[in-house]
Every structure is written in structure tokens, then in C-alpha cells.
A and B are shown apart, each in its own frame.
Chain A
């Protein structure tokens, strides 16, 4: 089956530093990937849509300069949290859809737990 990985699974960083999270589709190509964040006991909130070879589309209220997204290849999208603050601590999840697939299914990664101290 289609597998999406994320790296790292957990990261702790100091306030003011930047953190990069990778999302990879391991056995398929994805033109579109999505980034979500999830706070404890809450639902997933879509942050942005990552398109291979073009700029990401951000949801309302999500700062594009704070959350930098790069989708440089058909198997990799990265989310960089710049100048992280404690309120950025959250669970970040990506998902991907296959290229030219009639499937309606999105495949989710296992998530990355970010803690900013």
C-alpha cells in the first residue's frame, strides 16, 4: 500500500530557532501534499496545500512566512517552522495523493511532534 513517512517523528527545539519537517511518499509520486497541525484533543487543521514545482497555498490565518513549505520533487515536501515559539508546539501531519490517480484516497504520514521550549 501507499506509504507516507515523516521525519523527524519528534523534535524539541529552543524558542527562536527554525525546524524542518520532511514528508515523503515512499512508493508513489505525489503532485499534491497537504500539511495539517493538531493540538491535543483537537481535530486536524489544514494549514496549506503543497504543490510540486509551485508555491504552496495557505489556509486563511496561516502565516506563509512562518511556515515555509517546499515541494521540490514528486516524493518530498518540507515544512519549516521559522523562529519557533512555544505556541507552535503541536503535532504536524502531512498527507499525499498519487499522481494521475483516480483514487480518492489521501495517505497520511505518522506525524511529527514539535515541542518548542
Chain B
């Protein structure tokens, strides 16, 4: 499983756009990039998944360059409730049968 590297922590203010970049230099051809969000004392919540270029949903955007060795999660106009830990994972598309190995994650703190 490809190892991922993210910043340990980030700070932002309400209303700003937050971009969290994840490195996955050893990503395999069939791997997808998935991001999860976790609030304290709760289970992780799926945010977004992508393979290449750009993916957007109602919560976030995911940008993946052509070499796929990194990806950037973009959260538009964050609010205090976006304060959480964000995990970047690399997994095969049938992710359920393959184990999800969580890295350290990025602890995002949104300030008023």
C-alpha cells in the first residue's frame, strides 16, 4: 500500500479556502485517492475520492496532477465546524476488500 505524507497541522480562519496537500509518490496504477474527515470521538467520514484531474462534490474538491504523486483537498469557505483531522488514503477502487491504512492525518483548526 502506498504511503502518504501530509502536513501534521494547519490553521485557517472562517470563510477562507483551505488546501491540504498529500504526497503519495509510490501510488500504483490502479490506486485511487480517498479523503476522510474525523471529528473528536467519532468515526471517520468519507469526503471525496478521485483517480485523476479534478473531482468536485458538495463538500470539497480534489485536485490530482497528471503524475498522481500528490493530491490536494480543497475546502471552500471553511467554517468552525470544519475543524477536524483530515486523512488522505490510497486504496484500490474496491476499497472494501482492501485494507484502509490511515496515516497521521492533518489536524485542521479553523479560527473565528
- A residues with a Cβ closer than 8 A to B are 4, 32, 34, 36, 43-46, 49, 91, 93-98, 101-111, 113
- B residues with a Cβ closer than 8 A to A are 32, 34, 36, 38, 41-46, 49, 87, 91-97, 99-105
Q: Number of A-B pairs whose CB atoms are under 8 Å?
A: 65
B96 and A98: CB pair below 8 A? yes
What 6 A-B pairs come out closest when comparing CB atoms? A97-B96, A108-B43, A104-B95, A44-B102, A43-B102, A93-B43
- Give chain A nearest CB distance to B28 CB in angstroms: 15
- Give chain A nearest CB distance to B29 CB in angstroms: 16
Chain B residues whose C-beta falls within 8 Å of the C-beta of A103 in the assembled complex: 96
A108 and B104: CB pair below 8 A? no
Which of B45, B96, B99, B105 touches A101 (beta carbons < 8 Å)?
A: B96
Which of B49, B92, B100, B104 is packed against the most chain A CB atoms within 10 Å?
B100
A110 and B99: CB pair below 8 A? no
A109 and B43: CB pair below 8 A? yes
Chain B residues whose C-beta falls within 8 Å of the C-beta of A94 in the assembled complex: 43
Chain B residues whose C-beta falls within 8 Å of the C-beta of A45 in the assembled complex: 102
